[in-house]
Structure 1
Amino acid sequence: MSHLTRLTCEEAFRRLDDFLDRELSAAETELVHEHLEICAGCAREFRFEASVLRGVRAKLRQIEVTLPAGLRDRVLRALAAEGAR
Structure 2
Amino acid sequence: MECLDCVEATARLHLYIDRELTAEEVEIVQQHLEGCPNCDCRFHFDLQLKRLIHERCTIEHAPVHLREAVMRLAQGERSKIDADLAREIKKEMKADLEGWR
TM-score over 0.5 for the pair: yes
Residue 14 of structure 1 pairs with residue 11 of structure 2: yes
Structural RMSD (CA):
2.0
TM-score (norm 2): 0.61
Equivalent position amino acid for 2:30 in 1: H
Counterparts in 2 of 1:66 and 1:49: CA distance versus 1, 3 Å: same
The aligned residue for residue 31 of structure 1 is 28
Structure 1 moving runs of 4+ over 4 Å:
none
SS at match of 1:10: helix
What residue ranges of structure 2 are gaps of 5+ in the alignment? 75-101
Q: Displacement of 1:72 after TM fit?
A: 6.1
Counterparts in 2 of 1:72 and 1:60: CA distance versus 1, 3 Å: farther
String of CA shifts for 1:49-68, please: whole Å, max 9, x gaps: 0000111122234x422162
Matches within 5 A, 1:4-83: 5-61=2-58, 63-66=59-62, 68-70=66-68, 71=70, 74=74
Equivalent position amino acid for 1:14 in 2: A
Distance in 2, Cα, partners of 1:11 & 1:21: 16
String of CA shifts for 1:5-57, please: whole Å, max 9, x gaps: 11111110110010000000000011001100000110010010000011112
The structure with the larger Rg is 2
Higher relative contact order (CA 8 A, sep 6+): 1
What residue ranges of structure 1 are gaps of 5+ in the alignment? 75-85
